[in-house]
Amino acid sequence: MAPSNSRNVPAGIARNRLALAVALALPMGFAVAAPDPAPEPDPQEGAKSAQLEAVTVTAQRREEDVQKVPIAVTTVEPEKLLNIGAAGDDIRFLSARLPSLQIESSFGRTFPRFYIRGLGNADFDLNASQPVSLVYDEVVQENPILKGFPVFDLDRIEMLRGPQGTLFGRNTPAGVIKFESRKPSQEFDAYIRGNYGRFGTFNTEAAAGGGVSDTVSVRAAMVYQRRDDWVDNVAPNAKVDELEGYREFAMRLQALYAPSEDFDALFNWHARSLDGTSRLFRANIIQRGSNSLVSGFNEDEIAIDGNNGQELDAWGASARLRWDLGSVSAYSITGYETLDFLGRGDIDGGFGASFAPPFGPGFIPFPAESADGLSDHSQLTQEVRFESNEWGAFDWQAGVFYFHEDITIDSFSFDTLAGGRQNGFAQQDQQNKAWAVYGSGEYDFSEALTLRGGLRYTRDEKDFSARRFQSPIGGRPIGPLEANPSASDVSGDVSLVYAFNDDVNVFGRIARGFRAPSIQGRILFGDSISVADEETITSIEAGVKADLWDRRARLGFTVFDYRVDDQQLTAVGGAANFNTLVNAERTNGQGFELDFDAYLTDNLLVTVGASYNDTEIDDPNLFVQPCGSGCTVQDPRGPSAGLVSIDGNPLPQAPKWIGNITARYSIPVEDGEWYVFTDWAHRSEVNFFLYESAEYTGKSLTEGGLRIGRNWNGGQYDASVFARNITNQIRVVGGIDFNNLTGFINEPRVWGVEFSARF
């Protein structure tokens, strides 16, 4: 078990540690363990100043002080996660709350797309691969639907920026986000937390755990989130009157068997069920020639004539076994995941059509209603790893990894004007097998200087087949169309860490990562499939990590420069409404990241995060099809009609600037405290697509939150009021570009009340 990573505080606010523990149900924060029950106050403690406690991470598969790890790792104070998740939002609430992190989705609460340092994937197909890997309880979540599992009852989250091609594998060229749930222990603890707010938003979590014998301990945790339909559908003859509600439930059961210090086994079973509204696409909400919302836009209304819903059921299990063999420890990690998903949406975002009036809002050239689903999905992973136990100046770890995934994707089209009758059907089958062998070591030249490095060999193979049985646009049945890409690659990293003293470390790192070939086979609206070759990245970074002012403050600062060769990009939409995978000859990126936490006074804790990312596609021979919706394209024309050059463009969904800040001020009272917490996150403008246009450039977005509360009885109970997106800043955060000026927006302002108790 990882040691507690909570922060030290003076006696006057020590009880707050237990107040934060009330949020046990909450994801307990980035790389910060849930605090233990507060000890009895020490009368001598009042004279001490507040200090930040060391934060333990497992970024390199061992427990280490984050300040000594030669990787750009973000760790965040636990109360921040409690607050940004107060409104029951999905995992996208992390976007811009960490340096260099952007998350967006055209599926709503499912299929989040992650971008780190500008590197991500805008592909919305259900077999899309992403360069950001999400690892939950040491099991990789490869399919994008798996990446949306709710965030609750966590011990820590770690965000690792830059290629992680040694210890984590093939699809990690941008970085890794690691989630670790809170593990069972012999000590009993339990909590419940619930809130209620605007739009009938209800968000509750609960967990309980403890020992059931001297060798067995268990833990159960759950989360239930819901929101009422709050968007009125004002279209004539609408199939659904109200939209944007959801009901989501997730749970996790764990059992830890530890008969001795030399062996333990942790078993995990988890499940998720979601029934809600698909992403709401809104026709013609963007002013032509600009990226502003049209005059009179109302987020509470929409006008669509199609169906718009999604259902998801998923479950998985894992077993983590550890043997202490003396000078070496051995680990076995087995994971299995499966899901069933179907999402249907009114893609044109309006009602009727120009040839079938009435129609609107604005000009609707033709209707578009479609659905995508995973009717069959299974993922099996197995890892065996060995690591040295304190060999002195040299330590190492090595292992083997196996991955197998089977998926079937169903794609449907519907004739909205004929009452939603199905008029198109295509199916994709993909089997992905991969295996890897890796090794990593570190050598201490002295107490101050450490060299680390590692290599990983990966073999990846895909077998893909696609068939179209029914075409919505008059095409014939086709298929099977097949592709069998494979690749082998050696990735790795090397770094140096130098400790100037106990409080200041500097590091330099060179890393290479790789992403396996990808396949795009959405032949419902086209007659061909596309394959993107493997991509590789070489990254150079240097940084400093320091504890300041007698550990009242902590600083992390990194500068980086990377080059991606043959980057996999997705040409989304366009006039033909067809996705195509392409490889860019080269992409360049550079920038910096800052993390800073400080007690400005004993009762005022402030955290600051910032990043700058400058990305550029470098390929003079790469051309894509721009929008078919009459947007104002700003790129030069290509060699043939209907194509534009994207050479020199930034990557899509890659904001140059991200900044965030939190501040917590407490007023101690006899049996607890009053407190105020505020958080703000900003990202600069982004391109939605590979090409640049006036309309499909998202404006900068700044969102803030506020909580005012009181805890008592040593922090056992807590009551508060909260608000999210308190300025109600509404922005277009994504678009559909083939039909009209369709967009979708960010979450609206939500406020509410919350109560929590710990037992």
pLDDT tens-digit map of 504-550: 999 999 999 999 999 998 899 889 999 999 999 999 999 999 999 99
Question: What is the average per-residue pLDDT within 104-123?
Answer: 94
Could you tell me the two tokens for 460? 């990846």
pLDDT of residue 170: 84
pLDDT tens-digit map of 307-362: 999 999 999 999 999 999 999 999 999 999 999 999 999 999 999 999 999 999 99
Question: What is the average per-residue pLDDT within 58-84?
Answer: 86
Quick one: which H or E segment has residue 535?
A: strand 535-548
Give me the DSSP letters along 458-494. EEEEEEEEEEEEE-TTSPPPEEEEEE--EEEEEEEEE
Q: How far apart are CA 147 and CA 314, in angstroms?
A: 11
User: Does the N-terminal peptide bond of residue 99 adopt cis geometry, omega within 30 degrees of 0?
Assistant: no
Q: How far apart are CA 533 and CA 433, in angstroms?
A: 16
pLDDT of residue 7: 36
Q: How far apart are CA 459 and CA 437, in angstroms?
A: 9
> Is the per-residue pLDDT at 711 higher than 90?
yes
Which has the higher per-residue pLDDT, 49 or 58?
Answer: 58
State the average pLDDT for the chain.
Answer: 91
The topology (CATH level 3) of 11-758 is: Maltoporin; Chain A (2.40.170)
**Which residues are paired to 12 by β-bridges?**
none
In the chain, where the domains are located:
11-758
Question: What is the average per-residue pLDDT within 702-722?
Answer: 96
pLDDT of residue 475: 87
Could you tell me the two tokens for 168? 């984590």
**Distance of alpha carbon 453 from its chain centroid, rounded?**
27
pLDDT tens-digit map of 126-140: 999 999 999 999 999
Measure the CA dihedral 34/37/39/45, to 10°.
40
Q: How many CA atoms lie within 13 A of 78 on its CB side?
A: 31
Cα angle for residues 155, 131, 182 (degrees, 5° grid): 10
Quick one: which H or E segment has residue 82?
A: helix 78-84
pLDDT of residue 47: 46
pLDDT tens-digit map of 578-590: 678 999 999 999 9
The type of residue at 645 is: S
Q: How far apart are CA 471 and CA 469, in angstroms?
A: 7
pLDDT of residue 39: 42
pLDDT tens-digit map of 194-242: 999 999 999 999 999 999 999 999 999 999 999 999 999 999 989 899 9
> Is the per-residue pLDDT at 559 higher than 80?
yes
Q: Which of 675, 751, 608, 551 is nearest to 23 (CA)?
A: 675
Q: How far apart are CA 554 and CA 262, in angstroms?
A: 36
Q: How far apart are CA 240 and CA 157, in angstroms?
A: 39
Question: What is the average per-residue pLDDT within 703-723?
Answer: 96
Q: How far apart are CA 104 and CA 26, in angstroms?
A: 22
Q: How far apart are CA 436 and CA 52, in angstroms?
A: 39
Q: How far apart are CA 20 and CA 10, in angstroms?
A: 15
pLDDT band at 576 (very low <50, low <70, confident <90, very high): low
> Is the per-residue pLDDT at 295 higher than 90?
yes
> Is the per-residue pLDDT at 479 higher than 90?
no
Q: How many CB atoms lie within 10 A of CB 358?
A: 11
Question: What is the average per-residue pLDDT within 280-298?
Answer: 96
Structural contact between residues 592 and 656, judged by C-beta atoms closer than 8 angstroms: no
> Is the per-residue pLDDT at 70 higher than 90?
yes
Which residue in the block uniquely carries the two structure tokens 């004002």? 234
**Distance of alpha carbon 495 from its chain centroid, rounded?**
27
pLDDT band at 40 (very low <50, low <70, confident <90, very high): very low
Buried b (16+ CB within 10 A) or exposed e, 228-262: ebbbbbbbeebebeebbbbebebbbbbbbbbeeee
Q: What stretches of 369-420 adopt beta strand conformation (E)?
A: 369-388, 394-415
First-to-last alpha carbon distance for the chain, in angstroms, is 21
Q: Which of 657, 507, 679, 517 is nearest to 593 (CA)?
A: 657
pLDDT tens-digit map of 161-200: 999 999 998 889 999 999 999 999 999 999 999 999 999 9
The type of residue at 8 is: N
> Is the per-residue pLDDT at 32 higher than 50?
no
Instruction: Give the global pTM.
Output: 0.92
Q: How far apart are CA 524 and CA 460, in angstroms?
A: 27
Q: How far apart are CA 46 and CA 174, in angstroms?
A: 45
Question: What is the average per-residue pLDDT within 437-459?
Answer: 96
pLDDT band at 575 (very low <50, low <70, confident <90, very high): low
List of residues 6+ apart from 105 with CB closer than 8 A: 92, 111, 112, 113, 148, 279, 734
Question: What is the average per-residue pLDDT within 694-715?
Answer: 96
